[in-house]
Amino acid sequence: MEYQYLIDVNDERNWLFPIVNTEPGGSVWEEARTIHFPMGKESLLRVTDSVFHPQPNAHCHYHREAYEIFFWSMAPFDFYSDGKVAEVEPGCITLHRPYEPHGFAFRNLTRKVGFFHRMDLTMEDGMCGALLREKRPDARKQPDFPKVGPVLPDIIRAEDPVGWPRVKWQEMNCVRHISRPLAVERFDGVTMKMLIARWETGGVKEVWAAEMERGFTAASNPYPLKTEMLYVTEGEVRFQVYDDTFVAHPECIVKLPKYGEYRLEALSDAVVYDVGGQTEWFTLLRDCASIRSADPARFADAEAMRELKYRHNCEIRSIARL
């Protein structure tokens, strides 16, 4: 069977369900496309890519259930959230939680790559509904279509943000940047930085950046027990999964399958985000630091560390620097 490990966001062949959103007058304000469908009970690993056209309307809204994490590029824009407005720069990440009104106003073409979870819990049938509308647009009108109860919409339009004070983006809790991590751990050849904590996402995931130096390598357990998703924003990284080898470059998403043993090597200095977020990196790294200080013998015990990593859902068996 064919399994797509590497998803180049810039490759049009990877654009699923492309749509164009317009203003009432007909002008285009967003070109959006699905990159990866959600998986599992939390609707994890849903990915979209959007290019926004210049428009002053903030389209302020909030969600009942969904969590959104957006990586921004191309141009600065005005971001409305937390009752404030700030100019957000390319390279920033924004986090949007349920019932947290937010909106965006763009002066130039601006791009985001979005990662979501729980979005499809209340959106009407999620991507399955989108597929039905494309393939059988009149299906819901048919007498034999199943009758289901009403579903509350997830996206709720908020009032236009008027009078919100302007601040610097550094003063907004939901704006993150790799230069301002919540936690940092350094190892030989890689620096791990936490950008979004698990307690900020309903306990579902956390987002870390791995700043890799050229020659850094990591290898997984023989049979990883979860599907992982990585997002490369800088540099080149070579992956080997089963017998397949490929190189990920900036704007590439890497999907590592459950049970598929893998190895990675940074071919240059690189930045890779763990956007699947299932490894409990924060608690694992804190526990490692405590054990290293309190019980060096246990820290040096390979079996004890293997058990600790298993407890925190970490599939990395070893790291090294060539």
Rounded mean pLDDT, 36-58 = 91
pLDDT of residue 126: 56
Mean pLDDT of the chain: 92
Q: Is the pLDDT of residue 151 over 70?
A: no
For residue 322, give the nearest of 266, 248, 244 by alpha carbon: 266
CA triple 166-196-271, angle to 5 deg: 100
Across residues 81-95, what is the average pLDDT? 97
Q: What does the alpha-carbon distance between residue 230 and residue 234 come to, in Å, rounded to a whole number?
A: 12
Both tokens of residue 95? 């986090």
Alpha helices (runs of H) in the chain, residue ranges in sequence order? 126-135, 281-294, 296-299, 302-311
Check residue 170 and give its pLDDT.
97
Distance CA 235, CA 193 (A): 17
Q: Can you spell out the DSSP letters for 182-219?
A: SEEEEETTEEEEEEE-GGGTTTS--EEEEEEPTTEEEE
- Check residue 287 and give its pLDDT: 95
pLDDT reported for residue 17 = 84
pLDDT in tens, 219-244: 999 999 999 999 999 999 999 999 99
Q: Is the pLDDT of residue 147 over 80?
A: no
pLDDT, residue 142, reads 86
Close Cβ partners of 57 (under 8 Å, ≥ 6 residues apart): 23, 29, 105, 160
pTM (2 d.p.): 0.90
User: Which strand (E) or helix (H) includes residue 258?
Assistant: none
Q: Which of 101, 100, 105 is nearest to 88 (CA)?
A: 105
Q: How many CB atoms lie within 10 A of CB 257?
A: 15
Q: Give all domains of the chain, ordered by start, each with its CATH number.
A: 6-176 (2.60.120.10), 183-321 (2.60.120.10)
Percentage helix, strand, coil for the chain under 3-state DSSP, each rounded to 5: 15, 40, 40
Residue with tokens 């890689």: 190
Q: Is the pLDDT of residue 293 over 60?
A: yes
CB 125 within 8 A of CB 149: no
Each residue's pLDDT tens digit, 166-214:
999 999 999 999 999 999 999 999 999 999 999 999 999 999 999 999 9
CB 224 within 8 A of CB 262: yes
**How far apart are the C-alpha atoms of 223 and 257, rounded to whole Å?**
10
Q: How far apart are CA 198 and CA 183, in angstroms?
A: 12
Residue 254, SS3 per DSSP: strand
